[in-house]
Structure 1
């Protein structure tokens, strides 16, 4: 007599089964980080000229109001998309909800890292260094420039969405880039500030998020394995 082992299907609502971690996202994210870092390094020597051209040109253009709106409020759109994914995953796909929760930990870690780096580097805002009209008012002294917090969070949230639902890239990637670019256009950051912030958000969210997710998976496998061992000892098999 032969027996076959039945592998249960994934119950999405209860969260049983293995969460779908898209490993293909990792090399793409690493390539994005390297590319953004390269842009930051290239932009650094010409930072003031680039800022004057972009911020000054935007302030004198018809798109000044739109640039200021995106720079100030654009991040809320990424927050709304991420929150919607979290709610949908909670009701329809618990493994994906676990991925989003882990990526959320990465987003918090990215923001914390950007704040610490700001306090260590203390780079002055370009609107205090370059004499040019800007769309947004210059932040108060002591609110440092590098890296951009907005860009860090934008990169982190976009990465969290892509780790959970890769097909959302046409929506979240342009939105994150628009938020970062608007921070320069509105006159509150250099180009290297926003590209570094994006890179920091992508990198830390991937590393911390996937580490948290892998740790949670190991804990869950151990907790489900213990009752099985106890049952085998009880039945004598």
Structure 2
């Protein structure tokens, strides 16, 4: 199941992203969570039988989950969806999967790796987009109060500590995935974990490698640190699934 979530100002972004998916997989189902879509927008989406729309239920969670700029909703939705579906592809509406690797090929590579002692990609969570900076560059220290790590220096460089985008993630329902999502969701529900003191999205400088850029990536920083703590090397959960780009416009 492909899963995404949008607010009303990302309606056009989702349609463009979905049309690309539909071009490659005409019958692919997509579960879309509405953060605040209008009735008109929802009715428009319902014209396509392969789009299932659910309104995100804020009442189940602390009030600060409603602050979209902290991206807590993404962790919560992943936790909800993995209970229902054994395999999930999370995709932000900004993603443009232009030239996808066939899904059958991806699954074959994952399966083959499980039985190969020399294969280092045995994670049931896979990420696909290079954020072009280290984990350290966007690591607001308050997150370490909740998820301490074994070696800060390793987080500073691209050989093992590269930050990967949380905008496009594959998850299979395994004990490992459930354990990661447990802590990721708890972080989202704890006010100062996914929004540490002094955290902000806009950086003071361009994020690079061994210098803190004065910014934070919220759910992306949380998920990356949990994955890094499990493998100590991002290459264990970083795979190629074809050409993926991103638009930064909202429409």
The structure with the greater share of residues assigned to helix is 1
Larger Rg: 1
The structure with the greater share of residues assigned to strand is 2
Class of the TM-score when normalised by the shorter of the 2 chains: under 0.3
Q: With CA pairs under 8 Å and 6+ residues apart, which has the higher RCO, 1 or 2?
A: 1
TM-score, length of structure 2 as denominator length = 0.25
